[in-house]
């Protein structure tokens, strides 16, 4: 991933900075794109139809332009109260979802291992119960199922406690 980053850095930085972005924005976009690529490859959803650098740049471009469009809508809604089209999420919904996800992420990190690792393997890397059992050294898939339920309850308790 480091090599991919270094290979695409110049092109991505050039694009983002030419489109009202900063160096930090460019770095953030590129890292986000590489992470998404990693997720797709891991989940078997990546189809190699073009060069990887082409794919990464296209992803960065889409994400950055969407971010710009969203920020424009935020400004517009602040100023003019334009109604959002019914098929799109409102800016407010987006913000709420983002905040809730961030809260879960913080709670997850504070859970500590093995719950944090188990929930990440299951929900983020989408490994099967059997694979998680092997990776984490559990006896079998049923043990993982039971442990996952307990960890989820602990996470919900943390979230309710923070509300």
Partner 1 sequence: MAEGRSIHWTDDDELLSKFVLHQLPESEEDTLSSHLITCGKCRHAINEETTIVAGARLAGRAALKEQLRLRLSESEQRVAASPMRKPAGYQVLWTQIASVAAVVTILIAVGVYNNWFISNSWNKSTPQEQVAQKQEPPTPESGNMESKESPPEKLLGKDMDQPIGSAEQDHFDNRRVKRTEIQKQKTSEDKRIVHEKSATSITVEPAANAGAVADEGKAEKELQMIDEADVLESQTFWVEGHVIQDALEKSQGMLSVTPRDQVSSVRKGETNAKKDDHQVSKSGNDIAMPTISLNQEPSSSLPAAFQYRQDRQGTIQTLIENNDSAIQMTLYLDSPIADSELRSAKIHVINTDSLVLNLPSQRIGLRLPPALQSQINTKAKQVK
Binding-site ranges for partner 1 (CB under 8 A): 1-3, 5-7, 10, 31-32, 34-35, 38-39, 97, 100-105, 107-109, 116, 119-120, 122-126, 145, 148-149, 152, 155-156
**C-alpha span between 43 and 20 (Å, rounded):** 33
CB of 108 to partner 1, least distance (A): 5
**C-alpha span between 120 and 77 (Å, rounded):** 36
CB neighbours of residue 60 within 10 Å: 25
Of 44 and 83, nearer to partner 1 (C-beta) is: 44
Of 91 and 159, nearer to partner 1 (C-beta) is: 159
Of 43 and 75, nearer to partner 1 (C-beta) is: 43
CB of 71 to partner 1, least distance (A): 20
CB of 132 to partner 1, least distance (A): 12
Query: What is the C-alpha R_g of the chain?
Result: 20
Of 54 and 75, nearer to partner 1 (C-beta) is: 54
**C-alpha span between 10 and 163 (Å, rounded):** 43
CB of 103 to partner 1, least distance (A): 7
């Amino acid at each position: 991933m480091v090599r991919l980053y270094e290979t695409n850095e110049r092109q991505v930085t050039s694009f983002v900075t030419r489109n009202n972005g900063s160096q930090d924005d460019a770095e953030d976009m590129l890292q986000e794109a590489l992470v998404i690529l990693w997720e797709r490859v891991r989940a078997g959803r990546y189809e190699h139809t073009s060069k990887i650098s082409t794919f990464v740049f296209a992803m960065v471009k889409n994400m950055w332009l969407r971010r710009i469009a969203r920020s424009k809508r935020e400004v517009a809604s602040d100023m003019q109260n334009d109604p959002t089209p019914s098929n799109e999420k409102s800016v407010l919904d987006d913000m709420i979802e983002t905040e809730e996800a961030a809260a879960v992420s913080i709670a997850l990190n504070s859970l500590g291992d093995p719950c944090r690792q188990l929930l990440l393997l299951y929900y983020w890397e989408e490994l099967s119960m059997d694979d998680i059992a092997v990776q984490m050294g559990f006896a079998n898939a049923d043990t993982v199922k039971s442990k996952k339920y307990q960890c989820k309850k602990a996470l919900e308790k943390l979230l309710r406690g923070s509300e």
